[in-house]
Each structure stands twice: as C-alpha cells, then as structure tokens.
Amino acid sequence: MITYIDFLDIGLPTSSGTVTLGSVLKFIFILSFSTILAKIISIYLRRSLKNRVSKDMGETIIKLLYYGILTIVFLSNLHLIGINPSGFLLAGGVAGIILGFASQNIVGNLVSGVFLMIERPIKIGDQVQINDVSGYVTDIRIISTHIRTFEGLLVRIPNQQVFTTNITNIVGHPVRRFEYTIRIRYSDDANAAIFLIKDLIDKEPFALLNPSPSVFVNDLADSSVNINVRIWAPVNEWFGIKTRILWNIKQTLEENGIEIPLPQRIVRIQTDSKKVPEELMPGKEIESVINYEERVLA
C-alpha cells in the first residue's frame, strides 16, 4: 500500500486555526510578488518624478509608497500564517486617531504637498509670488515649499498655505507684457515721440514682434500728455529689457527735443483796485479776530 502524503496540506495548529505549508508558501509568494511590484512602481515613479520634484522629496515619496504597499500586503495576508490581524488593525486604528488629532497640521501640509505635486502650479526654479513672498522656488518638499526671495533670503512656506492661497507664477507662460507711461509736454509732437519709441522697440531683439507692441496717447493729464508703451518679451528676459528700453526712451526723446515735464500748475493773479485787504484799513477791527477768546477759548 502506498501512502500519498501531500506536504502542502501538513497542518500546524495555531490559536486562529491550522496553518498549512501551502498557506505559508502562498504568504511568501504574495509577499515576494508585492515586493517586486513595489520595486517596479518605485522605478516608474523615480523616472516620472525626476524633473517634477527635488530628489530628496522624490525619494521620500517613493519610500513611503514602497513601505506602504508592503505593510498593507503584509497585514492583509497575516491570516495565511495563522495570525489574526484584527488586533493590529484595532491598535493601529486607535493609534491613528490619536496621531491624527495630534498631527492635524502636519497631515494637512502633507496632503497639500501631495496635491501640489499632482496639480503642479509651480515647479522648482519658477519665479513666483505666494502671499507677500516673491522669489524663486528652490524646493518643494513633502511638508513645505522653499522660496529664495529676490533679496537672497530663504522663506519656508507650509504646503497647506501654498495650496490654499493665490499663487502668481511669473514664468508660467512663455511671454509676458510690461508697460510704461511716458510723459511729454503739451508743446511736444506726440506723433514724433510715438515714432521714436516704436523705432527703439523695433531695434530691441527681445521686444517681441508678436504679440505686437503698442504705443499710444493714453491721457491728457494736468501737466503732460501721457503716452502708454506696452511691450511683450520672453518671460526670462523681460526685466533686462524693461530697464534698458526705459532709459533709451528717455535719452532718445531728449536728443530729439522732446522733454519729460515737471508737474506744473498755472496760477492767475487778478488785481482789483477797489478792493482793499481788511487788515490794511485804518481803524477797522478785523471781524475774524473779534472776541476770539470768547468764541474759541471759552
């Protein structure tokens, strides 16, 4: 008589039932498979996050995800090796609630950080304005975003604040517009001034042809005729052009006899021979000072 023994069905009694060799092997297989899967996901994420977030933060996200997958798979398959995970889950749940209350802000910042990475309103290297802070984004971390201000200061802003406030991305589009108001005298020829300004813009390489610049009389003000100049430029070049063209406009206009006027007010003095100032009339008391003490100081 041949007795056939199935090794996979050999059982070992435990507190939560019998554990067979087959179920242990199944547990090992699932764990190995999930490790490989987590590795593949990590490699894919490492590639896709390469230019989106800083290396440090990318690695943190990948590690969190990697160990998260392994923990979930491990806990959900503990019954295969005869361990009841409900005790872990209950303890974990209670601990989670306590930790959740204790670290509400941290979790808020963490979640905001994840959403910032998904929505990507800003990238590392962008010039941004967040609340009253303007500068370059140097790092987007899991909890906070780091800004190097134009003055060279490091400002750390919690991600929750970044996510819930208005963000102005200065370099979000390839081009941007800037403008000046150039004031000339009423006696100057505005058409000549417009021609000279347009010629200067035409000579500037980074002043874009399209969208086209516009130069026009915008206001007839108290002391001057105001000419509005609007120029589009590549977003990384606009500031240099802005400073360069303004001074060139000033010099060119002056060379052509067109001047920027100082604020002025015309005062007309009308003389009336019959009217004599009160204080000069002999013997007459000035009404405004009569009984001054009674009216004011009493």
Of 17 and 211, the one with the shorter C-beta distance to another protein is 211
Helix ranges (H only) for the chain are 21-48, 55-76, 86-102, 104-119, 159-164, 190-203, 238-255, 292
Binding window for another protein (CB under 8 A); candidates: 64-72, 85-93, 205-213, 243-251: 205-213
In the complex, the smallest distance separating the C-beta of residue 173 from another protein, rounded to whole angstroms, is 5
**Distance in angstroms between the alpha carbons of the first and the last residue of the chain:** 133
Cα–Cα distance measured from residue 233 to residue 178, given in angstroms and rounded to the nearest whole number: 8
**Which whole-number Å values give the CA distances from 166 to 87, 112, 128, 132, 161, in the listed order?**
45, 14, 10, 10, 9
Q: Which residues pair with 157 in a beta bridge?
A: 145
With binding defined as CB under 8 A, does residue 180 bind another protein? no
With binding defined as CB under 8 A, does residue 174 bind another protein? yes
Of 177 and 284, the one with the shorter C-beta distance to another protein is 177
Scanning residues 223 to 262, which ones bind another protein (CB under 8 A)? 232, 234, 236-237
Identify the residue among 74, 136, 206, 239 touching another protein (CB under 8 A): 206
Q: Judged by CB under 8 A, how many residues of this single chain contact another protein?
A: 13
With binding defined as CB under 8 A, does residue 274 bind another protein? no
Cis peptide before 211 (omega within 30 of 0): yes
In the complex, the smallest distance separating the C-beta of residue 208 from another protein, rounded to whole angstroms, is 5
Which spans of this chain sit near another protein (rule: CB under 8 A)?
A: 173-175, 205-206, 208-211, 232, 234, 236-237
